[in-house]
Amino acid sequence: MIPAAFDYLAPTSVEEALAALAEGGEDTKVLGGGQSLLPILRMRLNAPERVVDLRRIDELRGIREEGDHLVIGAMTRYSDIVTSPVVRLHAALLAQAVEEVADPQIRHRGTIGGALVHADPAGDVGAPVLALEADLVIRGPGGEHTVPSNEFFVDLFETAVGEGELLTAVRIPKHTGWVSHYEKFVRVKHQWSIVAVAVALQVEAGTIAAARVGLTNMGSTPLRARAVETALQGRPASDVGDACERAAEGTNPPSDLNGDADYRRHLARVLTRRAVTTALGD
């Protein structure tokens, strides 16, 4: 319950933060909202020598529109995403998923960037970010670069954010007018997702013009369910047929106390169908 001792820095700019990371080396941890990191430190599952807290860096916080994109600062809190009218308008799926993260207290503190970099496959932010085909803006000693979401998640708890780098923002193409739903399956409400499905659909003249499906906890990273997307595309919104039966293709879900891999595959299919149905307003 008491973390091991560490040095603490709270820089006020990204440059200062990058310098603090460079100086600290590999035993440095970045503190965003802290809602994943602090439990790890308390349980002493990790004992960094230095913690770099991003809370004073104003440029990392906030939601703004940039042409066809929404740009969400990495330190933007869940609760601010959930209540943001522009997110509801242009990336409703993200708000729907973030609303399902943990509980209100956690949502008051936790940040989108923290969750993405933590990269827990059972977390609820990865799947919508994948489904919305967001780009992740990363800054490091060598400057800034952007990684598409399908290249961002590398492995369990591992992302494209390298040592000494910071995720600074999430750029989400506006999905204005798309319908969406995040379907989360848990045994008790405060659990991590056993499986969850993020669905965004563009419906034109009664036909599904485009489909994006992200899966939570169906592998070591959040996944795109591309087979379902392909199967849904071009189908009439009133009859998606058995398109959702392909939801588990290419997945490698874990087996644990909440369910084995077979059960998770089954859930992915059922939940995808339900998410699609709900998104379509049926």
Partner 1 sequence: MTRVHVTVDGVQYSDDIEPRMLLVHYLREVVGKVGTVIGCDTSNCGACTVHLDGASVKSCNVLAVQADGHEVTTIEGIAVDGELHPMQQAFHEHHALQCGYCTPGMIMQALDLVRENPTPSEEEIRLGLEGNLCRCTGYQNIVKAVAACASTMETSTTARPERSAAR
Partner 2 sequence: MTAVDDHPALEIGKARRRKEDQRLLTGRTRWTDNIQLPGMLHLAMVRSPFAHARITSVDTSVATQAPGVIGVFTGSDLDGQGLIANAWPLNEEQKTPDHLPVAVDHVACAGEIVAVVAARSAAAARDAAELVDVDYEELPAVLDAREALTDAVLVHPELGTNRSAFWQLDSAEAGTGGDVEAAITTARAEGILIEREYRQQRLVPAFMEPRSTVVDPTGEQIVMWTATQIPHILRFLIAATTGISEAKVRVIAPDVGGGFGGKLQTTPEEFATLAVARRTGRPCKYTETRSETMVSCHHGRDQWQTLTLAATKDGTVTGLKVDLLADLGAYVAILGGGVPVLGAWMFNAIYKFPAYQFNCQTVLTNKTWVDAYRGAGRPEATYAIERLMDELAAEVGVDPLVIREKNWITHEEFPFTSVAGMTYDSGNYEAATARARELFGYDELRAEQRRRREGGDTVQLGIGVSTFTEMCGLAPSRILGALNYGAGGWEHASIRMLATGKVEVLSGATPHGQGHETAWSQIVADRLGVAFEDIEVLQGDTQIVSRGLDTYGSRSLVIGGEALVKAADRVIEKARHVAAHLLEASADDLRFSAGQFTVAGTDKGISIGDVANAAWRGHNLFDGAEPSLDSDATFDADTFSFPHGTHLCAMEVDTETGATRMRKYVAVDDIGTIINPLIVEGQEHGGILQGVAQALWEEAEFDDSGTLVTGSFVDYTLPTAADTINFVTDNTVTPATTNTLGTKGVGEAGCIASTPAVVNAVVDALRHLGINDIQMPLTPQRVWKAVQSAGTDPGGPSQEAQPHFAEGALNQDPSAGATDGAAQ
Q: Which residues bind partner 2 (CB under 8 A)?
A: 1-2, 4-5, 43-44, 185, 187-192, 194, 257-260, 263, 266-267, 270-271
Which residue is listed with tokens 């919104």?
Answer: 237
Query: In angstroms, what is the minimal distance from the CB of 167 to partner 1?
Result: 19
The one of partner 2, partner 1, none whose footprint includes residue 104, by CB under 5 to 8 A per kind, is partner 1
Q: Does 88 bind partner 1 (CB under 8 A)?
A: no
Sheet with 63-66, strands from edge to edge, namely 63-66, 69-73, 166-173, 135-140, 143-148
Distance of alpha carbon 274 from alpha carbon 247, whole angstroms: 12
Contact letters for partner 1, residues 10-29 (x by CB under 8 A): x-------------------
Identity of the residue numbered 175: H
Distance of alpha carbon 249 from alpha carbon 247, whole angstroms: 6
Complex with partner 1: residue 114 or 253, whichever CB lies closer = 114
Q: Within a 10 A sphere around the Cβ of 244, how many other Cβ atoms?
A: 26
Complex with partner 2: residue 39 or 234, whichever CB lies closer = 39
DSSP string over 64-89: EEETTEEEEETT-BHHHHHT-HHHHH
What is the 8-class DSSP label of residue 193?
P
DSSP-H helix ranges across the chain? 14-24, 37-42, 78-82, 85-90, 92-98, 104-109, 112-118, 126-131, 149-152, 226-232, 261-279
CA 98 to chain centre: 8
The one of partner 2, partner 1, none whose footprint includes residue 113, by CB under 5 to 8 A per kind, is none
Complex with partner 2: residue 5 or 205, whichever CB lies closer = 5
Complex with partner 1: residue 107 or 265, whichever CB lies closer = 107
Q: Does 75 bind partner 1 (CB under 8 A)?
A: no
Of 25, 191, 63, 225, whose CA–CA distance to 120 is shortest? 191
Q: Does 7 bind partner 1 (CB under 8 A)?
A: yes
Using the contact rule CB under 8 A, the part of the chain among 16-24, 51-59, 157-165, 248-256 near partner 1 is 51-59
Using the contact rule CB under 8 A, the part of the chain among 35-43, 131-139, 146-154, 165-173 near partner 1 is 35-43
Which of residues 18, 31, 57, 63 is near partner 1 by CB under 8 A? 31
The one of partner 1, partner 2, none whose footprint includes residue 26, by CB under 5 to 8 A per kind, is none
Query: In angstroms, what is the minimal distance from the CB of 238 to partner 2?
Result: 20
Identity of the residue numbered 226: R
Q: What Rg do the C-alpha atoms of the chain give, in angstroms?
A: 19
Q: Within a 10 A sphere around the Cβ of 151, how many other Cβ atoms?
A: 11
Which residue is listed with tokens 């042409």?
Answer: 67
Which of residues 14, 89, 106, 210 is near partner 1 by CB under 8 A? 106
Note the residues at the interface with partner 1 (CB under 8 A): 1-8, 10, 31, 34-35, 38-39, 41-43, 51, 53, 55, 77, 79-80, 102-106, 108-109, 189-190
